[in-house]
Structure 1
Amino acid sequence: MTGHHPRTDEGLDAPLPESAYAAALGPAAENTAVTRLQTALRHDGEYPRASLEREFRLRRAALADRLALQSDDEQDVTEAARTAYELLAFDLTDGRFVLGPAGPGSSTWETSARPYVRQEYERWAELTDGGRDACVKNPGSR
Protein backbone atom coordinates (compact mmCIF):
# COMPACT_ATOMS: atom_id res chain seq x y z
CA MET A 1 0.00 0.00 0.00
CA THR A 2 1.23 3.45 -0.77
CA GLY A 3 -0.22 6.76 0.18
CA HIS A 4 0.53 10.40 0.64
CA HIS A 5 0.09 13.22 3.08
CA PRO A 6 -2.89 15.19 1.74
CA ARG A 7 -1.02 18.54 1.70
CA THR A 8 2.66 17.66 1.22
CA ASP A 9 2.44 14.41 -0.77
CA GLU A 10 5.00 12.85 1.56
CA GLY A 11 4.97 9.10 1.05
CA LEU A 12 3.26 7.13 3.79
CA ASP A 13 2.52 3.44 3.97
CA ALA A 14 -1.26 3.81 3.84
CA PRO A 15 -4.02 3.47 1.25
CA LEU A 16 -4.71 6.31 -1.12
CA PRO A 17 -8.07 8.00 -0.51
CA GLU A 18 -9.50 6.58 -3.75
CA SER A 19 -8.81 3.07 -2.49
CA ALA A 20 -9.72 3.65 1.14
CA TYR A 21 -13.10 5.19 0.36
CA ALA A 22 -14.00 3.16 -2.74
CA ALA A 23 -16.81 1.29 -0.96
CA ALA A 24 -17.95 4.24 1.17
CA LEU A 25 -21.50 5.48 1.25
CA GLY A 26 -22.11 8.86 -0.34
CA PRO A 27 -21.38 11.84 1.92
CA ALA A 28 -25.05 12.49 2.79
CA ALA A 29 -25.74 8.84 3.64
CA GLU A 30 -22.49 8.63 5.61
CA ASN A 31 -23.39 11.77 7.54
CA THR A 32 -26.76 10.22 8.40
CA ALA A 33 -25.01 7.06 9.60
CA VAL A 34 -22.61 9.09 11.75
CA THR A 35 -25.52 11.02 13.25
CA ARG A 36 -27.34 7.76 14.05
CA LEU A 37 -24.22 6.36 15.69
CA GLN A 38 -23.87 9.50 17.77
CA THR A 39 -27.50 9.19 18.87
CA ALA A 40 -27.06 5.50 19.67
CA LEU A 41 -24.08 6.32 21.88
CA ARG A 42 -26.40 8.41 24.03
CA HIS A 43 -28.68 5.41 24.66
CA ASP A 44 -28.19 1.98 26.12
CA GLY A 45 -28.68 -0.63 23.47
CA GLU A 46 -27.71 -3.94 22.00
CA TYR A 47 -24.28 -2.81 20.84
CA PRO A 48 -21.15 -2.97 22.98
CA ARG A 49 -20.45 0.67 23.77
CA ALA A 50 -16.72 0.59 22.94
CA SER A 51 -17.25 -0.93 19.49
CA LEU A 52 -20.05 1.52 18.78
CA GLU A 53 -17.89 4.44 19.85
CA ARG A 54 -15.02 3.16 17.70
CA GLU A 55 -17.29 2.88 14.65
CA PHE A 56 -18.58 6.40 15.29
CA ARG A 57 -15.07 7.82 15.59
CA LEU A 58 -13.86 5.96 12.50
CA ARG A 59 -16.76 6.96 10.28
CA ARG A 60 -16.75 10.57 11.51
CA ALA A 61 -12.99 10.86 10.86
CA ALA A 62 -13.32 9.25 7.43
CA LEU A 63 -16.16 11.59 6.47
CA ALA A 64 -14.14 14.61 7.64
CA ASP A 65 -11.14 13.36 5.66
CA ARG A 66 -13.21 12.91 2.52
CA LEU A 67 -14.69 16.40 2.86
CA ALA A 68 -11.25 17.94 3.46
CA LEU A 69 -9.85 16.24 0.37
CA GLN A 70 -12.51 18.00 -1.71
CA SER A 71 -12.15 21.37 -0.01
CA ASP A 72 -9.69 24.24 -0.08
CA ASP A 73 -10.99 25.46 3.28
CA GLU A 74 -8.36 25.20 6.01
CA GLN A 75 -11.10 24.62 8.61
CA ASP A 76 -12.08 21.40 6.82
CA VAL A 77 -8.46 20.25 6.87
CA THR A 78 -8.19 21.12 10.57
CA GLU A 79 -11.39 19.20 11.35
CA ALA A 80 -10.12 16.17 9.44
CA ALA A 81 -6.84 16.25 11.37
CA ARG A 82 -8.64 16.68 14.71
CA THR A 83 -11.04 13.78 14.19
CA ALA A 84 -8.21 11.59 12.87
CA TYR A 85 -6.14 12.20 15.99
CA GLU A 86 -9.20 11.52 18.16
CA LEU A 87 -9.55 8.10 16.49
CA LEU A 88 -5.83 7.46 16.92
CA ALA A 89 -6.03 8.39 20.62
CA PHE A 90 -9.06 6.14 21.12
CA ASP A 91 -7.23 3.25 19.47
CA LEU A 92 -4.13 3.87 21.58
CA THR A 93 -6.32 3.53 24.67
CA ASP A 94 -8.41 0.60 23.45
CA GLY A 95 -6.71 -1.21 20.59
CA ARG A 96 -9.21 -4.08 20.38
CA PHE A 97 -10.74 -2.77 17.17
CA VAL A 98 -7.61 -1.89 15.17
CA LEU A 99 -7.83 -3.57 11.77
CA GLY A 100 -4.87 -2.37 9.71
CA PRO A 101 -1.27 -3.54 9.70
CA ALA A 102 0.25 -0.42 11.31
CA GLY A 103 -1.15 0.13 14.77
CA PRO A 104 -1.97 3.48 16.33
CA GLY A 105 1.43 3.62 18.05
CA SER A 106 3.33 3.34 14.76
CA SER A 107 5.75 6.12 13.88
CA THR A 108 4.09 6.10 10.44
CA TRP A 109 1.37 8.41 11.82
CA GLU A 110 3.69 11.03 13.32
CA THR A 111 3.30 13.24 10.24
CA SER A 112 -0.47 12.89 9.99
CA ALA A 113 -3.18 10.67 11.45
CA ARG A 114 -5.40 11.04 8.37
CA PRO A 115 -3.68 8.16 6.55
CA TYR A 116 -4.32 6.04 9.66
CA VAL A 117 -8.03 6.76 9.20
CA ARG A 118 -7.76 5.64 5.57
CA GLN A 119 -6.00 2.43 6.57
CA GLU A 120 -8.60 1.62 9.19
CA TYR A 121 -11.58 2.66 7.07
CA GLU A 122 -10.46 0.63 4.07
CA ARG A 123 -10.22 -2.54 6.14
CA TRP A 124 -13.46 -1.80 8.02
CA ALA A 125 -15.26 -1.15 4.72
CA GLU A 126 -14.05 -4.50 3.38
CA LEU A 127 -15.58 -6.21 6.41
CA THR A 128 -18.86 -4.27 6.41
CA ASP A 129 -19.45 -3.52 2.73
CA GLY A 130 -18.77 0.16 3.33
CA GLY A 131 -21.00 0.29 6.38
CA ARG A 132 -23.98 -1.30 4.70
CA ASP A 133 -23.68 -4.31 7.04
CA ALA A 134 -22.91 -2.14 10.06
CA CYS A 135 -26.21 -0.30 10.26
CA VAL A 136 -27.19 0.89 13.69
CA LYS A 137 -30.83 0.57 14.60
CA ASN A 138 -32.55 3.83 15.43
CA PRO A 139 -32.68 3.77 19.25
CA GLY A 140 -36.06 5.49 19.21
CA SER A 141 -37.70 2.73 17.16
CA ARG A 142 -37.63 -0.11 19.70
Structure 2
Amino acid sequence: MPDPQTGAGFDAPTPDMAYASAPNIIREIGWVARTAANRPYDKPSLREFWLRKAALLDRIAIKDGGDGALTVGEHAAAVFAGYDRDHHTGTGPHGPDAIEWDPSYRPYVRQEYAAWLCVSGK
Protein backbone atom coordinates (compact mmCIF):
# COMPACT_ATOMS: atom_id res chain seq x y z
CA MET A 1 0.00 0.00 0.00
CA PRO A 2 1.33 3.50 -0.80
CA ASP A 3 2.65 5.43 2.20
CA PRO A 4 2.29 9.23 1.92
CA GLN A 5 4.61 9.75 4.89
CA THR A 6 7.62 8.01 3.32
CA GLY A 7 6.59 8.29 -0.32
CA ALA A 8 6.85 4.51 -0.79
CA GLY A 9 4.57 3.26 -3.56
CA PHE A 10 4.28 6.61 -5.35
CA ASP A 11 5.95 7.61 -8.62
CA ALA A 12 7.30 10.80 -7.08
CA PRO A 13 10.46 11.89 -5.31
CA THR A 14 10.83 10.69 -1.74
CA PRO A 15 10.76 13.41 0.92
CA ASP A 16 14.56 13.23 1.22
CA MET A 17 14.96 13.75 -2.53
CA ALA A 18 12.32 16.47 -2.90
CA TYR A 19 13.44 18.52 0.09
CA ALA A 20 17.22 17.97 -0.05
CA SER A 21 17.86 21.57 -1.15
CA ALA A 22 14.91 23.15 0.64
CA PRO A 23 15.52 26.06 3.00
CA ASN A 24 15.36 25.18 6.68
CA ILE A 25 11.89 24.95 8.17
CA ILE A 26 12.18 28.12 10.29
CA ARG A 27 13.20 30.17 7.24
CA GLU A 28 10.27 28.74 5.25
CA ILE A 29 7.83 29.55 8.05
CA GLY A 30 9.03 33.16 7.82
CA TRP A 31 8.69 33.23 4.02
CA VAL A 32 5.17 31.75 4.12
CA ALA A 33 4.06 34.17 6.87
CA ARG A 34 5.49 37.25 5.08
CA THR A 35 4.02 36.20 1.77
CA ALA A 36 0.59 35.51 3.29
CA ALA A 37 0.65 38.96 4.89
CA ASN A 38 1.43 40.55 1.50
CA ARG A 39 -1.28 38.51 -0.27
CA PRO A 40 0.19 37.55 -3.64
CA TYR A 41 -2.37 37.78 -6.42
CA ASP A 42 -0.58 37.08 -9.69
CA LYS A 43 -0.70 33.45 -10.80
CA PRO A 44 3.05 32.58 -10.54
CA SER A 45 3.39 34.14 -7.07
CA LEU A 46 0.19 32.57 -5.81
CA ARG A 47 1.23 29.14 -7.09
CA GLU A 48 4.65 29.49 -5.43
CA PHE A 49 2.94 30.47 -2.18
CA TRP A 50 0.60 27.43 -2.16
CA LEU A 51 3.44 25.11 -3.21
CA ARG A 52 5.88 26.32 -0.56
CA LYS A 53 3.18 26.32 2.12
CA ALA A 54 2.13 22.75 1.24
CA ALA A 55 5.78 21.61 1.14
CA LEU A 56 6.46 23.28 4.49
CA LEU A 57 3.48 21.58 6.12
CA ASP A 58 4.45 18.26 4.53
CA ARG A 59 7.94 18.60 6.00
CA ILE A 60 6.50 19.42 9.42
CA ALA A 61 4.18 16.39 9.19
CA ILE A 62 7.17 14.20 8.34
CA LYS A 63 9.14 15.47 11.34
CA ASP A 64 6.20 15.50 13.76
CA GLY A 65 4.24 12.45 12.62
CA GLY A 66 1.30 13.33 14.87
CA ASP A 67 -2.29 13.15 13.63
CA GLY A 68 -2.76 16.93 13.71
CA ALA A 69 0.35 17.64 11.63
CA LEU A 70 -0.57 14.86 9.20
CA THR A 71 -4.09 16.26 8.76
CA VAL A 72 -2.80 19.79 8.15
CA GLY A 73 -0.21 18.46 5.69
CA GLU A 74 -2.88 16.49 3.82
CA HIS A 75 -5.19 19.50 3.66
CA ALA A 76 -2.47 21.85 2.37
CA ALA A 77 -1.47 19.31 -0.28
CA ALA A 78 -5.09 18.97 -1.44
CA VAL A 79 -5.46 22.77 -1.64
CA PHE A 80 -2.29 23.02 -3.73
CA ALA A 81 -3.39 20.18 -6.05
CA GLY A 82 -6.74 21.93 -6.43
CA TYR A 83 -4.97 25.15 -7.39
CA ASP A 84 -2.94 23.32 -10.04
CA ARG A 85 -6.06 21.54 -11.30
CA ASP A 86 -8.04 24.78 -11.56
CA HIS A 87 -5.23 26.77 -13.21
CA HIS A 88 -3.59 24.00 -15.27
CA THR A 89 -0.22 24.85 -13.71
CA GLY A 90 1.19 21.42 -12.82
CA THR A 91 4.68 20.78 -14.18
CA GLY A 92 5.55 17.21 -13.18
CA PRO A 93 4.93 14.01 -15.12
CA HIS A 94 1.68 13.25 -13.24
CA GLY A 95 -1.05 15.89 -13.11
CA PRO A 96 -3.08 16.68 -10.01
CA ASP A 97 -5.91 14.42 -11.16
CA ALA A 98 -3.72 11.34 -11.67
CA ILE A 99 -4.74 8.15 -9.87
CA GLU A 100 -1.10 8.12 -8.71
CA TRP A 101 -2.06 10.44 -5.82
CA ASP A 102 -4.57 8.12 -4.22
CA PRO A 103 -4.73 8.21 -1.18
CA SER A 104 -2.72 11.44 -0.73
CA TYR A 105 -1.60 14.56 -2.58
CA ARG A 106 1.51 14.93 -0.40
CA PRO A 107 3.67 13.06 -2.95
CA TYR A 108 2.22 15.37 -5.64
CA VAL A 109 3.55 18.32 -3.64
CA ARG A 110 6.98 16.64 -3.55
CA GLN A 111 6.90 16.07 -7.32
CA GLU A 112 6.01 19.70 -7.96
CA TYR A 113 8.42 21.07 -5.34
CA ALA A 114 11.34 19.13 -6.83
CA ALA A 115 10.42 20.41 -10.31
CA TRP A 116 10.08 23.97 -8.99
CA LEU A 117 13.50 23.80 -7.31
CA CYS A 118 15.10 22.68 -10.58
CA VAL A 119 13.47 25.49 -12.58
CA SER A 120 13.77 28.28 -10.00
CA GLY A 121 17.28 27.43 -8.88
CA LYS A 122 16.25 28.12 -5.28
Q: Normalising by structure 2, what TM-score?
A: 0.90
Instruction: Give the counterpart of 1:99 among 60, 74, 91.
Output: 91
Q: What's the CA shift string for 1:108-128, capped at 9, x where partnerless? A: 112110000000001101122
Residues 12-31 of structure 1 aligned to structure 2 (within 5 Å): 12-31=10-29
Paired positions, count: 121
1:6: which partner in 2? 5
2:31: which partner in 1? 33
- 2:110 aligned partner, one-letter code: R
Q: Does residue 115 of structure 2 align to residue 117 of structure 1?
A: no
Kindly state the Cα deviation for residue 5 of structure 1 after the two structures are TM-superposed.
Answer: 2.3
Identity %: 34
- 1:103 aligned partner, one-letter code: G
Contact 1:41 1:49 (8 Å CA) reproduced: no
Structure with greater proportional helix content: 2
1:67: which partner in 2? 60
1:79: which partner in 2? 72
Kindly state the Cα deviation for residue 32 of structure 1 after the two structures are TM-superposed.
Answer: 1.1
- 1:90 aligned partner, one-letter code: Y
Q: What's the CA shift string for 1:91-132, capped at 9, x where partnerless? A: 11001x3121101111111211000000000110112233xx
Q: Which runs of 5+ in 1 are unaligned?
A: 43-47, 131-142
Q: Does residue 48 of structure 2 align to residue 55 of structure 1?
A: yes
Aligned equivalents of 1:77 and 1:105: distance in 2? 21
Aligned equivalents of 1:122 and 1:57: distance in 2? 14
Contact 1:85 1:113 (8 Å CA) reproduced: yes
Kindly state the Cα deviation for residue 4 of structure 1 after the two structures are TM-superposed.
Answer: 4.5
Aligned equivalents of 2:79 and 2:65: distance in 1? 22
Aligned equivalents of 2:92 and 2:35: distance in 1? 22
Contact 2:13 2:110 (8 Å CA) reproduced: yes
Compared CA separation, residues 58 and 86, structure 1 to 2 (3 A): same
Kindly state the Cα deviation for residue 67 of structure 1 after the two structures are TM-superposed.
Answer: 0.5
